[in-house]
């Protein structure tokens, strides 16, 4: 019995530490930097855009606006994309710290280069989408708790946009809504009834948090275009990627309108020990739980033995 006492004390201490940490997080609430960023986001949403300046893209989702599916490449495009990727597969290992994918290509045309408007290129890489809930914390009786919420039907786990110029200058909003290119429009729709009066702060907060973690990124001017024919873009994939089938889209634009679209898949998968543990947790959760418990017990017993030997030494 005395042998199990240190282990029991250690597990009880860990549980108490977890409860204290959770309570401290609830008491602390948003940091001053988060509150300032939230205030800036709300201020930006309320600010009107002068007619003389290019219109900003709407912050989707807007529950009052219907979505219309429009087929792509309806007519034969005078200019078409011929592109390739440096790699169409990314392996996530235990020491995976991110990766770069080079996307390159050329513009195929059988007529002279049009002179009416310069050619622009936009490259997007989108990860698997998942439903999620965005909560707003409120302080009640001195404790920060989750209050209002907005459930979003699907938001990509990763989304990167690379362009040859400022996005709001090279892409018209109506074409953005049609192809869902900008980050706000990458989110799909609300799930269930909307329970708040204004959804904009919630979607802004989600975008801000994912931009801070590197999962959402807008790299304006990072696509190199040579002689309106050859282009290349380097997309950085962060270390906290989720596995799944990623979608790459390449848009050719003239005068703010999409001329042609090219699509290519990227497969992101866990491999090695990382994949074995991941599949074990989902396919055999009972065995995974027993193994986790055994590791915790062995670690506690090892720590207890080490401290006992140190005291004797």
Contact by Cβ (8 Å): 72, 261: yes
Give the pLDDT score at 248. Answer: 92
Residues of the chain with pLDDT under 70: 1-76, 191-192
Model's pTM, two decimal places? 0.68
Contact by Cβ (8 Å): 118, 94: no
Contact by Cβ (8 Å): 262, 247: no
> CA gyration radius for the chain?
25
Give the pLDDT score at 271. Answer: 80
pLDDT in tens, 239-270: 888 888 999 999 999 999 999 999 988 888 88
Q: What percent of the chain has pLDDT over 90?
A: 25
pLDDT in tens, 180-222: 999 988 887 776 677 778 888 888 899 999 999 999 999 999 9
């Amino acid at each position: 019995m005395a042998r199990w006492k240190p282990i029991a004390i250690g597990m009880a201490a860990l549980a108490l530490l977890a409860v204290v940490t959770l309570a401290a997080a609830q008491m602390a609430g948003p940091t001053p930097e988060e509150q300032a960023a939230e205030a800036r986001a709300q201020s930006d949403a309320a600010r009107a855009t002068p007619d003389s300046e290019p219109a900003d893209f709407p912050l989707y989702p807007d529950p009052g606006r219907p979505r219309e599916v429009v087929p792509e490449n309806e007519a034969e495009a005078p200019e078409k994309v011929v592109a390739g990727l440096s790699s169409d597969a990314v392996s996530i290992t235990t020491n995976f710290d991110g990766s770069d994918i080079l996307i390159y290509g050329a513009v195929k045309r059988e007529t002279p280069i049009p002179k009416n408007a310069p050619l622009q290129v936009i490259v997007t890489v989108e990860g698997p989408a998942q439903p999620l809930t965005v909560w707003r914390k409120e302080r009640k009786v001195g404790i920060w708790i989750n209050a209002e919420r907005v459930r979003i039907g699907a938001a990509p786990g990763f989304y990167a946009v690379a362009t040859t110029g400022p996005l709001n200058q090279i892409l018209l909003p109506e074409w953005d809504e049609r192809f869902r290119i900008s980050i706000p429009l990458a989110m799909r729709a609300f799930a269930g009834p909307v329970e708040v009066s204004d959804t904009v702060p919630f979607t802004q907060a989600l975008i801000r948090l994912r931009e801070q973690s590197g999962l959402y990124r807008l790299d304006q001017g990072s696509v190199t275009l040579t002689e309106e024919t050859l282009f290349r873009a380097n997309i950085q994939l962060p270390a906290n990627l989720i596995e799944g089938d990623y979608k790459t889209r390449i848009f050719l634009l003239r005068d703010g309108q999409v001329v042609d679209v090219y699509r290519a898949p990227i497969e992101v998968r866990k491999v090695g020990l990382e994949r074995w543990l991941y599949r074990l947790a989902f396919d055999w959760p009972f065995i995974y739980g027993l193994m986790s418990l055994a590791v915790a017990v062995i670690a506690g017993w090892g720590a207890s033995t080490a401290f006992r030997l140190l005291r004797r030494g």
